[in-house]
Structure 1
Amino acid sequence: MLFALSLVVLSGCARSVEPDAAAVACSALTGKVLSHGIVKQATPVTAGQSMSLAGVDDKVVAPFGFCRIEATLRSEPGSEIQSLYWLPMKPSWNGKFVGLGNGGFGGVIQEAHMFPALRQGFAVAATDMGHPASFPQNLAPMNGKWAYQQPVKVLDWAYRANHLTAATGKELIDAHFGQKPKRSYFHGCSDGGREALMQAGRYPDDYDGIIAGAPAAAFTDLMAHAQWNNRQAVPTQLTEEKLDRLHAEVLDRCDALDGAKDGLLESPSACRFDPEVLSCKPGDDPKRCLTGAEVEAVRATYRGPRTADGQQLSAGFSPGSEYKEGWSLWITGPTLPLVGTVKSMTGGSLLSTDFFRWMVHADPDWERERFDLDKDLPLARQRLAATINSDQLDMTPFFARNGKLMLYHGWSDAALPPMNTVRYFERLQARHADAATQQLRLFMAPGMGHCMGGPGPSVFDALDAMDRWTEGGPPPEQMVATKFDKDAAGALGQTAKVQRTRPLCAWPKVARWTGQGSIDAAENFSCQTP
């Protein structure tokens, strides 16, 4: 469950610079004793300096000079949290601070997530969440072995690492600039969305505005859902060719329901689709039709898991999410090509197997074949829900200090069911009715995959919308999302071709084509109540 598996930083960016007052002040922070740790290294980075980020075709360059600060923080004995801070040199700093969430189990600092906020002039912070990278390095956030018999590190990952990173960021900003940030925001997606809601619920004073994308809020239940998916779908032969056929059939039957046949479903819940229509018949190409077992697996994936007594555990995945890059990675396979002793698994199976093996059972020999929904889920809830889940937190203190909370989710997410976020948002609305109209918003993105990518527009500036809102503007009613030929490059401000734009509307409104102009241009859509 990652913002994007490819955006893990593999190399640093610092080199020598000509000494000046700002650079000297930056370097002088090295060794500074902090309230919760120490600055290991503070390095000035010059404007135009090359920065190498994994998964990005071309190197990025520093938009202006900034101070790169590496700090080690500790919540208690046995804790060791690595956090990274980028503080723009004056006058490039906008006076504000952004903390960023991680993905999966963390273990790495994802610098590529920091870069867009830096370009906007924010002081930016991120953390490894309290444990080092595990093997294999590029999939460290999917590996949970670090949690084995490590209750201190589990607490740091659950919520303390982000809290201490926020407190330390404000401390460093005060030390470096001689003033505290005038506004502070947090933005995380996937597990970072869980972290965002945890910040709002446990530490309402840390941030003024919080953005939670595709939040893995009920983490225990979502890990059980992923194991259940593995049991339903992986034994079938839902190849990428069959997923292509399935996705095309869904679009053929439901795409035009929103008024524009554009390859995107604005309201997937309105799509009534039964995969039985693709059931193999005499003379059909067996590579493009579905066997009886595959029909049932697809139905189950759309429906979602139920316990033995019929209780719905989680929403199913939405029609439109079955595009091959989504389901094949997270649900059905082909599996991730891993190395060493790690078996090949889908993304969902890998993450959830490590969760149950190392966190729930604390048994190195536990295997996914032993998973029992009706036994393992209650055990996971009993042992970990109060610590790691953020779906039941009371937001009253956060809203009482006029905090703003924005949620978003891609309708084509194949890692975390989007309807879970809709239902959670609606529960928040009901619980905090007085605050909801001015302090709470949800945006659903048609065709957007897990946090970024997918067939629909998925690059949008939630941070700018939050900043305008928190600075006294009206609650955002829409954001414009862009689909690039290379979404990651587009998000980083690199050269990328715009393929289409689309407004994302504040829930429950959806974008409707006006009937005139290109269906690939946002200005030809308006937000309407369905």
Structure 2
Amino acid sequence: MKMKTRLLPLVITPLCITLYGCNSNSSEDNSLPILDAATPATLTLCNTLTEQFNYSDTEIISAELLPEGSVTYSGNVEDGNSVIYPTPAHCLITGAMNERISIADGKPYKIGFEMRLPSDWNGRFYYQANGALDGVLQKAVGRFMISEDLNASALNKGFAVISSDAGHQSPAPMFGLDPQARLDYGYNAVATLTPMAKDLIEKAYGKQPDRSYFAGCSNGGRHTMVASARFADMYDGFLVGNPGFNLPKAAISQMYGIQQYATLVDIDPENVLSSLQSSFTQQEFALISEKVVQQCDALDGASDGMVNDIIGCQDEFDLYRDVPTCAVQRDGTCLTEAQKNVFNNIMSGPHNSKTNEAIYSDFPYDAGMGTNDYYGWEFFMAMMRDPGAVAFVFSTAPTPYNGSTEAGSFEYVNSFDMNTDVEKIYAINETYTESAIDFMTPPDATDLSTLRNRSAKMMVVHGASDAVFSPADTINWYEGLQDANDRNADEFARLYLVPGMNHCGNGLATDRFDMLDKLVAWVEQGMQPQSVEASVRADNAELPSNWSPTRTRPLCPYPQVATYNGTGSIEDAASFSCVAPK
């Protein structure tokens, strides 16, 4: 028995082959007009903005001019440890919009925001879409991914940056009881904040931004994809990371995984999470990755511990054949038959058992599945975050439960019926008039005609070892986008897969790269992005000891594969070329 990844068939017409060949030799896009480049300006107002800026239902709480220095970005569980971003001299502004008392739960709500306006402005606006369930006003440094170069943040590049809590404050996910807070979280906070932010920028600099960019990873990637479909008239460039654009379905998929792991062990109600983790150790995940590498490493011409040909690998690797089956007991070098069945089910994605209809995408096998990040998403996040999102935010009506204990979360997860309860993410009623599928996902993810027709651009990046938002889902979206645009979608949107990378960074990967400059050059100069050079992070303790701490690789526009040229160091991106699949 072999798990087949349900990636859409890769159909490349002669036109598409020609198109990719042309792109590899040309840096200019002549098929769509080029938007004018942004021009710089200098900050003229800051401290007095609290009195001088007036906008409907908006309060500027504080405005302060700060010298060149640094800002501590306090990450949440998803984002990792706090990091320190260097910052230029800038105006720090905090404010709130649409303050109200909810008629649903009697609690106060508002759309909180922070803006940072550099003294020396490049004429561009950057919407920093944050991750997880939002609810926290993250520092507006122009962040994108966990592993980014902190010096390359949008604020440091001269962008005016906004960050928001998406219309609710912690603790999350209880905000899901309020219908308006759901909509603000899904899409309305962006619609509300964007024109206000541009007016505030005009007040501070004397002109509106010439170009506007939207970027985020994880739920921030979802925000970005939603914005690309709903608000393409407001933004010129979209930078998307590991997008959870089908987040309600992906959250259910996470819970399905917990249900599957639970069939392998007896659950101790006092230690639910550790009981579940005993069903599959991190060492056993690493064993699967090791066998994936053995089968697929050489497909790209280099035996380097990385699987660049991700799609080809799905045909080469077989869980049942390639991973040893335990003859007696588990020792980290084998999997039991029951473990293989469970993991095959999880990787195949959740299904309705009555009709065998897929609830969410499947997942590809890759080399980065034995890492801390992967393990954390499979168990801790799936048990302690996703159930709350499904119950409070994505279900109509909300189905509250006691999520403060592991036992309470597990009871909700294990009782969730994949045949009937899934319908709650599609449901509406008199109070909740938009379903989670309506307010959380792009209205039509493959209809980006507004974006395309006004010469806006999109770059999407996804780690091939993402445990929560399937890269196969993103590939299928991109194939659908190509079909909707006569296989010419790469004129305005490109997808880059990162072998071995987990969720928004980390993993056994070259996970450090700067796509923002590439996006700006594409939007404002017509310079088509080809490969993007990526490097490993030397401080990544999980990297294999035989990898150079300076390893680089080209990230290739899908469906091209980074392929070894046959000569040169395998640690150097220059030794690889982006090649169309055979």
Identify the TM-score tier after normalising by the shorter chain.
Answer: 0.7 to 0.9
The residue type paired with residue 382 of structure 2 is G
Q: 1:105–1:144: 8 Å Cα contact kept in structure 2?
A: yes
Matched, 1:486 2:539: yes
Greater relative contact order (Cα < 8 A, sep 6+): 2
1:459 counterpart SS class: coil
Q: 1:217–1:390: 8 Å Cα contact kept in structure 2?
A: yes
Unaligned residue ranges in structure 2 (runs of 5+)? 1-41, 75-79, 103-108, 144-149, 265-278, 403-411, 428-434, 542-547
CA shift at 1:506, angstroms?
0.9
User: What is aligned with 1:260?
Assistant: 302
Change (3 A) 1:435 1:513: closer
CA shift at 1:469, angstroms?
0.3
Unaligned residue ranges in structure 1 (runs of 5+)? 1-21, 135-142, 334-345, 489-496
The CA distance in 1 between the partners of 2:477 and 2:443, in whole Å, is 7
Q: Show CA shifts across 1:74-108 (max 9, x none).
A: 2877550111111000xx21111110111121011
Of 520-529 and 385-394, deviating more is 385-394
User: What is aligned with 1:126?
Assistant: 163
Q: How does 1:44-443 map to 2 (within 5 A)?
A: 44-47=65-68, 49-54=69-74, 59-62=84-87, 64-74=88-98, 78=102, 79-89=109-119, 92-111=120-139, 113-114=142-143, 116-134=153-171, 143-148=172-177, 150-236=178-264, 237-271=279-313, 272-276=316-320, 277-282=322-327, 286-308=331-353, 309-320=355-366, 321-331=368-378, 333=379, 346-359=380-393, 360=395, 361-365=397-401, 367-382=412-427, 383-390=435-442, 392-393=444-445, 394-433=447-486, 436-443=489-496
TM-score (norm 2): 0.77
RMSD of aligned Cα (Å): 2.4
The CA distance in 1 between the partners of 2:497 and 2:337, in whole Å, is 33
Change (3 A) 1:398 1:231: same
User: What is aligned with 1:340?
Assistant: none
The residue type paired with residue 95 of structure 2 is A
Q: 2:217–2:240: 8 Å Cα contact kept in structure 1?
A: yes
CA shift at 1:350, angstroms?
2.7
Q: Show CA shifts across 1:333-377 (max 9, x none).
A: 3xxxxxxxxxxxx21333320122212142223711211111122
The residue type paired with residue 288 of structure 1 is T
The residue type paired with residue 61 of structure 1 is P
1:131 counterpart SS class: coil
User: What is aligned with 1:501?
Assistant: 552
Change (3 A) 1:395 1:525: same
Of 428-437 and 397-406, deviating more is 428-437
User: What is aligned with 1:12?
Assistant: none
TM-score (norm 1): 0.84
Change (3 A) 1:481 1:234: farther
The CA distance in 2 between the partners of 1:458 and 1:69, in whole Å, is 32
The CA distance in 1 between the partners of 2:261 and 2:475, in whole Å, is 25
The CA distance in 1 between the partners of 2:507 and 2:295, in whole Å, is 20
User: What is aligned with 1:523?
Assistant: 574
The CA distance in 2 between the partners of 1:434 and 1:529, in whole Å, is 15
2:570 counterpart SS class: coil
Q: Show CA shifts across 1:38-79 (max 9, x none).
A: 2111111101x24233366774432x2100111101287755
What percentage of residue pairs aligned between the two structures are identical? Answer: 28
Q: Show CA shifts across 1:89-138 (max 9, x none).
A: 0xx2111111011112101133265461111111111111111122xxxx
Q: Show CA shifts across 1:391-429 (max 9, x none).
A: 624322222212212222111111211010011011112
CA shift at 1:467, angstroms?
0.2
CA shift at 1:24, angstroms?
8.6
The residue type paired with residue 65 of structure 2 is P
Q: Show CA shifts across 1:182-212 (max 9, x none).
A: 1100011111111112112112211011122
Equivalent position to 1:40, from 61, 67, 71:
61
